[in-house]
DNA sequence: AAAAATAAAAATGTATACAAAAAAATAATC
DNA sequence: GATTATTTTTTTGTATACATTTTTATTTTT
């Protein structure tokens, strides 16, 4: 089941399931080699998480990428993640900072796809948010980061963004290590909003 | 299907499905007079929306009410709804304000349950947010308001809260009519946060 | 020829039946 | 007697089959 979900998500991200045209349960059933029941289960989950949307009264489809949605997703991320980092702050340890630094080093690799970069980026952020001890808020933030992945099936934006993003991560970790919570939160807000703006610009330009 | 979902939600709110003990698909199947397939579909949706949580590797259960979750839900509402009202502001019309005022009058009725009050409260807020033309953000806010309903199966807090809340609604609508967007957003923030604090206090006191 | 009504096809929703996995109960061991 | 191993039972997950709904194609009517 989890495997099927991930396969579907991967195929949605990579555009192997055409956007905008109705998905038929039987076709998916054949395609993934399972009966319609697990397909229906997966569709139910993916609908709830915005990976699929209703198409008429019967049927679902992969939604078109849409700059307004991307803007909202990043705005929500910004608001909620800053709040969450505030909760995390008093509980951040050398261990969690070290773990975050390790992940940031792995983000250095040149041959990472946008998608892999996105996954590592979330791992880094999640490392910081875990210690907040705020399951409900954390869960919502995790869902938002998962949704953002739908927009990461391609390479976008200037290449230098990679380095910018990484430098910001380092700076953020330094601020946290120095106990400058307000500055750190401010930087996080900017970090997310700039990323969102770049994506939105790209989407506006290409559509 | 929608009917079954609403029945399940109502039974969760009213405590007719015991919290903390595992739900069995076959029991639910008998209880609601349908086969296990639609039950499974409904469980999938409710799990995704926080109405049910995993219980071990197999089975789900109704989660206990929890002040920390309530606090997070209201904090998220506060952050996201203020943002959304900002988008709404330029598009608010006399019609939408009038509609909101009508709903607020209906909130006057003395014999409303907490649950009915919650539904009307959302109708009022939704009226203001609809014109924002921000589907993704609106949808998330709607989900949060739906989740808050889980905490409204009982009467809590001082009775005078009802009038306070209504006066705040009126004041909010007046500010919007006068075009004082910043003040309106500030009031909305306070309106939501106070409601959240009252709920959290109640939950802390009773648990 | 265009629009409405009807009939055929296809798709979803649901029930039943079976297989795999998990939980509970029993038996065996230390 | 408590703990571990094994068996039994229960529960979930999936496949197939059927009913209902929706969509498409055809026919009829104006």
The strand pairing partners of A53, in sequence order, are A61
Tell if A22 CB is < 7 Å from nucleic strand C. yes
The strand pairing partners of B180, in sequence order, are none
pLDDT band at A156 (very low <50, low <70, confident <90, very high): low
Average pLDDT (B39-58) is 91
Q: How far apart are CA A145 and CA A74, in angstroms?
A: 9
Q: How far is the CA of B157 from the C1' of C24 (A)?
A: 43
Chain D footprint positions (protein CB, under 7 Å): 10-17, 21-23
For residue B162, what are the contacts with CB-CB under 8 A and spacing of at least 6?
Answer: B107, B117
Least confident of A33-42, A145-154, B61-70, B112-121: B112-121
Q: Helix, strand, or coil here: B127?
A: helix
pLDDT exceeds cutoff 60 at B146: yes
Least confident of B56-60, B100-104, B162-166, B172-176: B162-166
Q: Which pLDDT belongs to residue A1? A: 62
Average pLDDT (B148-177) is 80
Q: Which pLDDT belongs to residue B162? A: 64
Residues of A with CB under 8 A from a CB of B: 37, 40-41, 44-45, 48-50, 68-69, 72-73, 75-76, 79-80, 83, 134-137, 140
Q: Helix, strand, or coil here: B60?
A: strand
Q: Which pLDDT belongs to residue B117? A: 85
Which carries the bigger pLDDT value, residue A116 or residue B149?
B149
Whether residue B84 contacts residue A76, with contact meaning beta carbons closer than 8 Å, is answered with no
Residues 37-96/B with CB < 7 A to strand D = 37, 40, 58-59
Q: How far apart are CA B5 and CA B9, in angstroms?
A: 6
Which carries the bigger pLDDT value, residue B115 or residue B146?
B146
Whether residue A153 contacts residue A13, with contact meaning beta carbons closer than 8 Å, is answered with yes
Q: How far apart are CA A120 and CA A184, in angstroms?
A: 20
pLDDT exceeds cutoff 80 at A154: no
Q: Which pLDDT belongs to residue A111? A: 75
Average per-residue pLDDT for chain A:
91
Per the CB < 8 Å rule, is A41 touching B41? yes
Average pLDDT (A177-195) is 95
Q: Which pLDDT belongs to residue B59? A: 87
pLDDT one-digit tens code per residue, B19-29: 988 999 999 99
What residue ranges define each of the domains in chain A, with the CATH number in brackets? 2-61 (1.10.10.10), 67-206 (1.20.120.530)
pLDDT exceeds cutoff 60 at B195: yes
Determine what percent of chain B is predicted with pLDDT higher than 90.
74
Q: Which pLDDT belongs to residue B161? A: 63
The strand pairing partners of A19, in sequence order, are A62
Whether residue B23 contacts residue B52, with contact meaning beta carbons closer than 8 Å, is answered with yes
The position carrying tokens 């702050």 is A89
Q: Helix, strand, or coil here: B112?
A: coil
Q: How far apart are CA B8 and CA A35, in angstroms?
A: 27
Q: How far is the CA of B37 from the C1' of C12 (A)?
A: 13
Token output for A179:
């106990």
Smallest Cα–Cα separation from A65: which of A56, A73, A77?
A73
pLDDT exceeds cutoff 70 at A163: no
Q: Which pLDDT belongs to residue A161? A: 63
Q: How far apart are CA B207 and CA B203, in angstroms?
A: 6
Q: Which pLDDT belongs to residue B33? A: 94
Q: With contacts defined as CB-CB under 8 Å, which chain A residues touch B68?
A: 134-136
Average per-residue pLDDT for chain B:
91
Average pLDDT (A182-190) is 96
Average pLDDT (A47-51) is 92
DSSP B142-206: HHHHHHHGGG-SS--S-TTHHHHHHHHHHHHHHHHHTT-HHHHHHHHHHHHHHHHHHHHHHHHHH
pLDDT exceeds cutoff 60 at B4: yes
pLDDT band at B8 (very low <50, low <70, confident <90, very high): very high
Q: What is the pTM of this model?
A: 0.91
Which carries the bigger pLDDT value, residue A182 or residue B154?
A182
pLDDT one-digit tens code per residue, B119-144: 899 999 999 999 999 999 999 999 99
pLDDT one-digit tens code per residue, B54-92: 988 888 999 999 999 999 999 999 999 999 999 999 999
């Amino acid at each position: 089941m989890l495997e099927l979900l991930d396969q579907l998500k991967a195929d949605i991200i990579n555009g192997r399931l055409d956007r905008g045209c109705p998905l038929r349960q039987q076709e998916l059933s054949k395609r993934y080699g399972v009966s319609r029941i697990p397909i229906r289960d997966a569709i139910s989950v993916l609908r709830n998480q915005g990976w699929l949307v209703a198409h008429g009264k019967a049927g679902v489809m992969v939604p078109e990428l849409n700059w307004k949605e991307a803007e909202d997703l990043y705005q929500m991320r910004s608001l909620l993640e800053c709040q969450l980092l505030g909760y995390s702050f008093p509980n951040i340890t050398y261990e969690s900072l070290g773990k975050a630094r390790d992940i940031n080093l792995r983000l250095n690799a040149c041959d990472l796809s946008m998608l892999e970069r996105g996954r590592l980026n979330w791992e880094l952020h999640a490392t910081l948010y875990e210690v907040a001890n705020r399951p409900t808020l954390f869960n919502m933030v995790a869902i938002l980061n998962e949704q953002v992945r739908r927009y990461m099936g391609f390479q976008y934006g200037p290449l230098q963004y990679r380095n910018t993003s990484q430098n910001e991560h380092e700076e953020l970790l330094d601020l946290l290590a120095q106990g400058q919570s307000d500055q750190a939160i401010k930087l996080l807000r900017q970090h997310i909003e700039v990323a969102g703006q770049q994506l939105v610009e790209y989407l506006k330009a290409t559509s």
